[in-house]
A and B are shown apart, each in its own frame.
Chain A
Amino acid sequence: MTAISGHFSSAPVLPKWIAPVLLIAFAYGVVPLIGSSYLFEAILLPFLALSLAGVGLNILTGYAGQVSLGSAAFMAAGAFAAYNFNLRVEGLPLIGSIVLAGFVAAAIGIVFGLPSLRLKGFYLAVSTLAAQFFVQWALTKFSWFSNDSASGVIDAPRLSIAGFALDGAVGRYLFALTIVAIVTFLAYRLVSSQTGRNFIAIRDNETAARIIGIPVLKTKLLAFAISSFIIGVAGVIWAFAYLRTVEPDGFDLDRSFQILFIIIIGGLASIRGAFFGAALIVVFPLALSRLGGLLLGDVFDSGVLDMSQRIVLGALIILFLILEPDGLVALWDRIRRRLLFAWQST
C-alpha cells in the first residue's frame, strides 16, 4: 500500500519524486547505450508490457477491490483494436490508434464490469472469465479482426511517436518506455486523487462508502473502465513492441493469471508493486533455466523447465500470500528502512 511507506522523522527525507526521476533518466540515458539486444528483447520489453498490465489490474483489484480474471482479454482487445485502427483509418497517427484502442478496451471493461454491481469476490472473478472466453472466441471466430490472416495472426506496424520512427530493439524499447512512463504517472496521480480514495473506500467498506455518499456503482464501473484502458494499452505494447506477431491464443487465461500473480507478488494497491512483480515474473524463468542448465545440464530441457517453473512460482505465491500479503514492495520498504536505520545508528 502506498501509505505504508512510513516516515522516519529523523531520516534524511528526499522528495518522493527523486527516485522515479532518476530511474527514468537512467532508463532513457544509460540503458539504451549499454543494453544488449537480448536484454531488450527477452527482458525489458516483456517487463514493460507486463508492468503496465499490472498497474491496470492493480487499479481494479488492488485499489477498488474487484477481482478480475479477464486481464488478457483486455490486452487482446487493445492489441487487435490498435491493429485495426491503424490498418483501417487513413492518416491516423499510431498514438491515436493506441488511445482509441484503450477506449475500446475500456468499453468492453465496462460491459464485463456490470456484474460487479451485484457480485463480489469469487463470484465476480468467475463472471470476469466470461470476458476472457468471449473476447478470445470473437477474435478467433471473426477473421475481420485480423484482416483475414491465417489463424488470426496479426503483424505489428512500424512504430513511431510524433513522427520519430522507432526501429530495432532499442527503438521499440524507447517506444514502450515512453508509453509506460506516461500512463504510470497518470495512474499514480489517479490513485492519490479523490477518485482513488473512493476506490479504496469501496474496497474496504462498501456500506460505509455508500452511506457517506460515494457513488458506488459509478465508481466501480469507472474502475473497470480505467483499468481496462490501461491493460488494453499494455496489450498494444505486448503485441507491437515486444512480440511483433501475435494471435488471440497468446492472450489466454494463463496470461490473465500471470498478471494477477504479478500484483499479488509485487504488492496489491501499489503502483510500484506492479513493476516489482513483473520483474520477478520475467526474470525468474530465465534465471531458473540458466541455473537448471548449469546444475543439471541436458536433463533440464524445456519440459522440465516449464514444470519446475510452475512449481516454484506456485510455491512463491503461496508463500507471499501467507508471509507477505503486501508483496515485494513491503519487503523492499522494510529492508530499506533497516538499512537506513543501521546507517543512522553508525
Chain B
Amino acid sequence: MPLPSYALGVMEASVYAPEVLARGLPSALPPAQPSEGRAEPTGLAAQAAPLLSLQGIGLSFGGVVALADIDLSVHPGEIRAIIGPNGAGKSSLINVISGVYRPDRGHVLLDGVGYAQVPTQRLAHLGVARTFQNLALFKGLSVLDNVASGLAYKVRSNFAGQVLGIGRSRGEQRDTLSRADQILQFLDLSPVRDRLVGTLPYGLQKRVELARALVAQPRLLLLDEPMAGMTASEKGEMAGFVRAARDRFATTVVLIEHDVGVVMGLSDRIAVLDYGRKIADATPDEVRNDQRVIDAYLGVASDNEDGAGI
C-alpha cells in the first residue's frame, strides 16, 4: 500500500488525512459483529488490509537496543500476543505504537497512514486505546469517573456550559455516564462503581483500566500485561473479558503477556521478541514448536512462570 506522503515524518499534530480521523471515531464504527470463532478472523484477516503495521522499527536508549528492525502486521479482529523474556522490548513496542516513544527508525502505519511518531494527543480519535504495565489509573476518582474519563476525548461542551448545565453539556454527561455504566456491567464492575479506584484490590484495578480503554470502543486495543500479578482464576476471567471485548466491539487486540498458557489459548497469532528482535511470528501451534522460541523464551519460562516481568 503506498504511503500518503503528507503523513510521513509527522512529528507533532499537523496534517492527518481527514477521512482517517472520521473513520477513527468510534461513533463511525460499523455495528459490531459477533465473530464466528477464533480461527475465522485469522483466515479472513489474511486477505484484509492490516489495521496496524510496523515497518522497520528501531529504537535504542543510549547503548541499549530496545527494538531492532521490527516489522509487524496486525489484521482487523485479530488477537495478537507479543511475548518474550524480560527486557525483550515488548513494552517499548507498545509505547512506539501509542506514540509514547518516537522510534529512531521506521514507521507505524495505522489503517494505512504512516507516522514517524504516532500523535499521542490524537490517539483516542484514531481509535486506539491502551493499558499500562504498571497501573495508570486516576487514584482520586471513583471507578465510574475513571471509566468515564475514557470518553473525555469526545467532549465538546466547554467548562462554562458544564458548570451552568446548559447547551450540549447535559446530554453529553448523561451519554458519558450511561456508556461508562454499560462497560462496567460488561466487565462485572458495577458493584464497585462508586468506590475510589485506589481502594480496590489489584486485580480489579487492572480490570478498571481495561474498562477505561474499552469505553471508547477502540478499533485497536493495546494491553501491556493485563494479567500480571493475578491468580490463575483471575487470569482466566480476564482472558474471557479480552475475548468478549473483541467479539462484542470487533476490537483488534495487541496483548503482552508472560503466561504462555493464557497466551496460547487466547491469541490468533503470536509474535516473539528477544533482545529487541522479532524471532517468530506465527500461530500458537507453530510458535510452540519453534526451536528458536523454545531456546529463547519457553526454555526459561518454567522457572519464570509467576510474577515474571511484573
Contacts and interface: CB of A to CB of B under 8 A. Distances in A.
B39 interface: no
A190 B162 contact: yes
Contacts of A186: 163
Contacts of A210: 120-121
Interface in A178-209: 186, 189-190, 193-195, 197-198, 200-201, 203-205, 207-209
Contacts of A203: 140
A219 B163 CA distance: 15
Interface stretch (B123-131, B227-235, B242-250, B286-294): B123-131
Contacts of A204: 137-141
Nearest to A188: B163
B149 A197 contact: yes
Contacts of A269: 140
A193 B150 CA distance: 14
Nearest to B153: A213
A66 B212 CA distance: 24
A339 B8 CA distance: 65
B137 A211 contact: no
Contact of A200 (B129, B141, B194): B141
Contacts of A159: none
Contact size range, A: 20 to 34
B149 A212 contact: yes
B153 A214 contact: yes
Contacts, number: 101
A222 interface: yes
Interface string A1-28: 1011001000000000000000000000
Contact of B149 (A3, A193, A198, A226): A198
Interface string B141-153: 1100100111011
B172 A215 contact: no
A219 B225 CA distance: 30
B144 to A, nearest CB: 10
B163 A200 contact: no
B125 A213 contact: yes
A212 B138 CA distance: 12
Contacts of A215: 121
Nearest to B212: A212
B64 interface: no
Contact size range, B: 35 or more
B159 A226 contact: yes
Contacts of B141: 3, 197, 200-201, 204
Given A195-B162, A214-B149, A200 B138 contact: yes
A222 B160 CA distance: 11
Nearest to A204: B138
B192 to A, nearest CB: 13
B165 interface: yes
B126 to A, nearest CB: 10
A335 B121 CA distance: 44
Interface string A245-281: 0000000000000000000000001000000000000
B173 interface: yes
Interface string A222-251: 100010000000000000000000000000
B166 to A, nearest CB: 11
Contacts of A226: 159
Given A190-B159, A205-B136, A197 B145 contact: yes
B53 interface: no
Interface in B59-116: 98, 100
Given A3-B196, A186-B163, A210-B121, A197 B137 contact: no
A211 B159 CA distance: 21
B140 A1 contact: yes
Nearest to A226: B159
B138 A194 contact: no
Nearest to B121: A210
Shortest beta-carbon contacts, A-B, top 8: A213-B153, A213-B124, A193-B162, A208-B136, A204-B138, A195-B159, A189-B163, A201-B138
13 contacts: A3-B145, A3-B196, A4-B196, A189-B162, A197-B145, A201-B141, A205-B136, A207-B100, A211-B120, A212-B150, A213-B122, A214-B149, A216-B121
Given A194-B155, A204-B140, 18 more contacts: A3-B140, A7-B194, A186-B163, A193-B173, A194-B152, A194-B172, A197-B138, A197-B149, A200-B141, A201-B138, A201-B141, A204-B137, A204-B139, A205-B136, A207-B136, A210-B121, A211-B123, A213-B123
Interface of B: 98, 100, 120-125, 129-130, 132, 136-142, 145, 148-150, 152-155, 157, 159, 162-165, 169, 172-173, 176, 194, 196, 212-213, 216
